Chains A and B, each alone.
Chain A
Amino acid sequence: MKPELTKLFAHLKKDYKIIAPVKKTRGIFLSRINDPKKVCFSAELTKNTFKEFLFPKKQTLFNFQGDKLIEPANSSYPKQAIFGISIIDLRALLVYEQVFRHDPYYQNYRNNSLIIGYLSLASTDQTFGIFEERLEEDTLEHLEFDVFALATPAGIHFFSGSSKGRQALIGAGIENFENIEYVGPVRESGLDPLMMANYKKVKNSFERHRLVWEELGRRCLACGKCSLVCPTCFCFASDQVFGQTKRTGRKTRRWDTCFYSEFSRVAGGHKFLDTIAKRIYFWYEHKFVRIPDEFSIPGCVGCGRCIAVCPVAIDLRQTLKDLAQPPKTMKQLVKK
């Protein structure tokens, strides 16, 4: 391991639980580690993402005793340093930072976490051609992170993105680092042109490209795997769970997915998204239309995880290509 990183991990271990990429039989996963020697520095995309550490699969919103609601104590949020987040996933983190800006639970997790981005110049581009992972001069100033580590042939080059990050680096005895001031998620040159191109393809396309969506609806099993692995998927549902003693329990929230048929069900039984075609369109619409409209940033960061896990080989790149074509009529399809 690079000596600078050894120093950093040794320092962080004092205050933080360390989460870092670890090689397992099925790939590289962000995992809790005790021994920094286990960290994988290949900078390949991890199978899982930061999201389960900042927005757990299930979390308590309130404990209740009778009618009284009690918020979880601050000590229930782990102090964690998450190392090895790629630029692609930092772009997804931007979505979370916007979406959960007013969410006290996310903010508690985030405030207790140290986000450490990582890129190795030696690694190959792993994007799926949707967005690029290239590090450009202005890349880092549009990302939110605490520390960023760039592995170059000459050694690790560090950047700090927050005062928390600076403190961590100085505490570890790393004096040689660059300060990056976050200037917001959107580049000075304006909205991302690729985001805008995809926006036009997807927006209101359900009727226009009915055959594309219906075909996807036929193939898709609505298993929800894509939304589980997607680093920008964050929808949730809440439940009430009773405790062991009388009139006690918890209000919790858990990850949900718009692929499940219950997602849009209202009291009385009506489901507004009553077909898989409507639900898969809803998913694309969220990524390529709703998030850009709300926050001016892409809702798909091009990590390709949805493509890798889909059991019926639905490929987002192909969908975007199909939507760029003039809409097909039934006649044309029959001829084919």
Chain B
Amino acid sequence: MKNPYLTYPAKILRIQKESSDSNLYTLKFEDPKVQKAFRFNPGQFVVAGLVGFGEGPFDICSSSLETGSLEICVRQAGAVTKRIHQLKIGDRLQIRGPYGHGFPMNKLANRNLLLIGGGCGFVTMRTVILDYLKKPSAKQKLQVFFGVTSERDLLFANEFDNWRKKIDLYLIASKPSAAWPHQVGLITNLFDKVKIMEKVGVLACGPPIMYRFTLERLKKLGIPDTDIYLSFERRMDCAVGVCQHCAIGSFYVCKDGPVFSYDKIKDIPGAI
């Protein structure tokens, strides 16, 4: 019987400091067979950790078209991530997954997309962006909102110039320094500044409070609930829909999510 809790060692090929508390790790499974079999959809996650320390869920943020390696962005937030931040190139992480369902990219293939990422929730948007850059479509345009507290929290900033060649990227910070050249305010303020494209599909990932206010704005724009996809964060242990930690109503964030269309979860108390 396949053991769903078995992890596979992956070597750290590259570490890129992204923000004051987050690093981007490029990983490759040591076993070429495992690497070859590893395929994921944008929005899916892996469980990564260290033997003897623990593990946790991390959104994959590399392109899903890249098969030789994968990337996760790790924010130092607890004991396990603190230990991961001490690792060096050549060290190993233990990985299992990918898990859950990502964004329905096939369904959205010919739709314009509005990507909304708040803080470290932005991580999962990078997969959608990188996939689009690799395989741009004449039938699809991307508008991307990235909201942070200050410039210290920006992720992937050295990639923005490249992204801007093909996508519209809007940055906003609520408490930036005086030198911040972009918009100041909350991510929802961008709706006052930017004309949202017609008939967009919306992909969002961020804290619950961001969802509450963003959903209000999306409703005003008349975007149907079925076109809004939200990625959720919850405590996870098993990642296969058994341990109950990540349950929302009758769904599990690990198994049925982490991405849910808004219509599916809007009536569930406490979901957002």
Contact A268 B78, beta carbon cutoff 8 Å? yes
Contact A290 B249, beta carbon cutoff 8 Å? yes
Contact B270 A67, beta carbon cutoff 8 Å? no
With A67-B9, A206-B270, A272-B235 already in contact, the answer to whether A264 and B245 are too (CB < 8 A) is: yes
With A69-B51, A290-B247 already in contact, the answer to whether A264 and B3 are too (CB < 8 A) is: no
Q: Mark out the residues of chain B between 33 and 58 whose CB falls within 8 Å of any chain A CB in the assembled complex.
A: 51-54, 56
Contact A249 B267, beta carbon cutoff 8 Å? no
Contact B7 A267, beta carbon cutoff 8 Å? no
Contact B51 A66, beta carbon cutoff 8 Å? yes
Q: Mark out the residues of chain B between 212 and 236 whose CB falls within 8 Å of any chain A CB in the assembled complex.
A: 233-235
Write the chain B residue with the least CB distance to A273.
B270
A195–chain B nearest beta-carbon distance, Å: 14
A204–chain B nearest beta-carbon distance, Å: 6
Most buried by B among A61, A242, A258, A268: A268
For B109, the chain A residues whose CB sits under 8 A away are none
Q: Which segment of A45-53, A278-286, A315-323 sits at the interface? A: A278-286
Q: How many residues of A contact B (CB 8 A)?
A: 47
Write the chain A residue with the least CB distance to B30.
A67
B235 contact from A62, A64, A263, A282, Cβ within 8 A: A263
Give 1 or 0 for each of A39-65: 1 = CB within 8 Å of chain B CB.
000000000000000000000011010
Contact A272 B242, beta carbon cutoff 8 Å? no
Contact B4 A102, beta carbon cutoff 8 Å? yes
Contact B247 A282, beta carbon cutoff 8 Å? yes
A292–chain B nearest beta-carbon distance, Å: 8
Contact B52 A99, beta carbon cutoff 8 Å? no
B32 contacts the other chain (Cβ, under 8 Å)? no
Contact A293 B78, beta carbon cutoff 8 Å? no
Write the chain A residue with the least CB distance to B207.
A270
For B247, the chain A residues whose CB sits under 8 A away are 282, 285-286, 290
For B233, the chain A residues whose CB sits under 8 A away are 266
A219 contacts the other chain (Cβ, under 8 Å)? no
Interface residues on B, range: 35 or more
Contact A294 B250, beta carbon cutoff 8 Å? yes
Bound-state Cα–Cα, A17 to B114, Å:
61
For B78, the chain A residues whose CB sits under 8 A away are 267-268
For A167, the chain B residues whose CB sits under 8 A away are none
B250 contact from A263, A281, A293, Cβ within 8 A: A293
B245 contact from A235, A249, A251, Cβ within 8 A: A235
A132 contacts the other chain (Cβ, under 8 Å)? no
Contact B51 A258, beta carbon cutoff 8 Å? no
For A268, the chain B residues whose CB sits under 8 A away are 77-78
B237 contact from A102, A236, A272, A273, Cβ within 8 A: A236
Write the chain B residue with the least CB distance to A257.
B244
Give the dominant DSSP class at B's interface: loop
Write the chain B residue with the least CB distance to A207.
B269
Give 1 or 0 for each of A16-41: 1 = CB within 8 Å of chain B CB.
00000000000000000000000000
Q: Mark out the residues of chain A between 253 and 268 whose CB falls within 8 Å of any chain B CB in the assembled complex.
A: 253, 256, 258, 263-268
Contact A249 B249, beta carbon cutoff 8 Å? no
Contact A204 B245, beta carbon cutoff 8 Å? no
A235 contact from B1, B80, B244, Cβ within 8 A: B244
For A103, the chain B residues whose CB sits under 8 A away are 4, 242
For A182, the chain B residues whose CB sits under 8 A away are none
Most buried by A among B56, B80, B267, B270: B270
For A240, the chain B residues whose CB sits under 8 A away are 51-54
For A239, the chain B residues whose CB sits under 8 A away are 54
Contact A278 B270, beta carbon cutoff 8 Å? yes
A289 contacts the other chain (Cβ, under 8 Å)? yes
Q: Mark out the residues of chain A between 61 and 90 whose CB falls within 8 Å of any chain B CB in the assembled complex.
A: 61-62, 64, 66-67, 69, 71
B94 contacts the other chain (Cβ, under 8 Å)? yes
Bound-state Cα–Cα, A207 to B271, Å:
12
With A69-B6, A104-B3, A264-B245 already in contact, the answer to whether A204 and B269 are too (CB < 8 A) is: yes
Give 1 or 0 for each of B3-19: 1 = CB within 8 Å of chain A CB.
11111010000000000
Write the chain A residue with the least CB distance to B53.
A240
Taking A107-B1, A290-B247 as known contacts, 19 extra A-B pairs with beta carbons closer than 8 A to each other, sorted by chain A number, are: A67-B51, A67-B92, A102-B4, A206-B270, A207-B269, A234-B244, A235-B243, A235-B244, A236-B243, A238-B238, A251-B5, A256-B244, A264-B245, A265-B235, A266-B234, A266-B235, A272-B235, A286-B244, A286-B247
- Can you spell out 18 A-B residue pairs with CB atoms less than 8 angstroms apart? A62-B6, A66-B51, A67-B9, A204-B268, A206-B270, A235-B243, A238-B5, A239-B54, A240-B52, A240-B53, A249-B52, A264-B235, A266-B233, A266-B235, A267-B77, A286-B247, A290-B250, A294-B250
User: B residues bordering A, Cβ < 8 Å?
Assistant: 1-7, 9, 51-54, 56, 77-78, 80-81, 92, 94, 233-235, 237-238, 240, 242-245, 247, 249-250, 267-270
